[in-house]
Amino acid sequence: SNEPFSWEKYLKETSSTAASPSCFRQSRLPPSNDFKAGMKLEAHDPRNSASVCIATVMGMMGTRLRLRLDGSDNTNDFWRLVDSSDIQPIGTCERNGDMLQPPLGFRMNASSWPMFLLRTLSGAEMAPATAFKKEPAKPSQNHFKPGMKLEAVDKKNPYLICPATIGEVKGEEIFVMFDGWRGAFDYWCKFDSRDIFPVGWCSLTRHSIQPPGNFSRFWGAVVTLPKALLLPASVPPAPSKRSMQSQSYRLPHPLPPLPVRKGVR
Ligand code: MLZ
């Protein structure tokens, strides 16, 4: 159908509940996004987090920025929240007595970095200090429980935020399972990760949400598998609370690994 994804309906359909907003390291009232495409800022290099680089805002969605490190190619863009501690106004690094670094994989000779830096900053529009919002405090402890629903960044497709379910909780760590994708995108993270959001976050911040994947669409594409694997009995059950606790949803043992269909969304 063409209906937009509705959490209200989906929670009913799956008879599940949303994780409380207090579980998350996110502001109760999402911050405003006061950045504009083209603005420059300082960002920690995601591939080398000790170094601070110049980045340009390439785009925005909700409270997130798509960033590209100046001097890097267009294949390493990354996303950060406007209240991420990974980003800061231009000048912060110097004020702290640090030096701006070329990004990992700087596309020019290292010796041309000082001149490149000068050129990239001259005449650039710098993001104003007021656009950077204070990172929210960590929740005091891990309040997540298996079965709770949330919205989470798909780390393999980081422009996407998708409906997900807590599969397991181990100390400070939680297992994030993407609804309807048979485990292909699941990951472990800390309970205070900035990549997870309470149900309703996307709608509140006007970020798109990818609806849950669906098995029939997936199975329809795998016509070359041995017949036995296509029998209904071997199709993993829909993610219900029970099947998650028993792990049978996450580990459909007799099934082959999920062929990732590149380019198809
Ligand atoms: N279209 C791509 C992205 C899937 C994203 C899943 N998110 C949980 C694919 O099918 O591989």
pLDDT in tens, 183-227: 999 999 999 999 999 999 999 999 999 999 974 444 444 333 444
Output the pLDDT for position 3: 81
Find the radius of gyration of the CA atoms of the chain: 21
Per-residue pLDDT, averaged over 37-51, amounts to 97
User: With a 6 A CB cut-off, is 265 part of the ligand 1 pocket?
Assistant: yes
Output the pLDDT for position 143: 98
Pocket test of ligand 1: the residue of 154, 165, 182, 195 to mutate, having most ligand atoms within 8 Å of its CB, is 154
Per-residue pLDDT, averaged over 95-113, amounts to 96
**What are the backbone dihedrals phi and psi of residue 61, each rounded to the nearest 5 degrees, phi first?**
-145, 125
Ligand 1 center to residue 185 CA distance, Å? 8
Question: Which residue is closest in CA terms to ligand 1's atom 1?
Answer: 265
Ligand 1 center to residue 156 CA distance, Å? 8
Output the pLDDT for position 263: 54
pLDDT band at 262, cuts 50/70/90? low
Sign of the alpha-carbon torsion through 61, 168, 179, 15: negative
Ligand 1 center to residue 132 CA distance, Å? 31
Using alpha carbons, list the distances in angstroms from residue 38 to 22, 61, 95, 229, 247.
Answer: 34, 14, 23, 50, 45
Question: Which residue is closest in CA terms to ligand 1's atom 2?
Answer: 265
d(C-alpha 239, C-alpha 182), whole Å: 9
Ligand 1 center to residue 182 CA distance, Å? 11
pLDDT in tens, 241-259: 443 433 333 333 334 444 4
Residue 178: pLDDT above 60?
yes
Q: Which residue has the higher pLDDT, 4 or 93?
A: 93
CB 159 within 8 A of CB 61: yes
DSSP H helical segments within 60-166, as ranges?
A: 92-95, 113-121
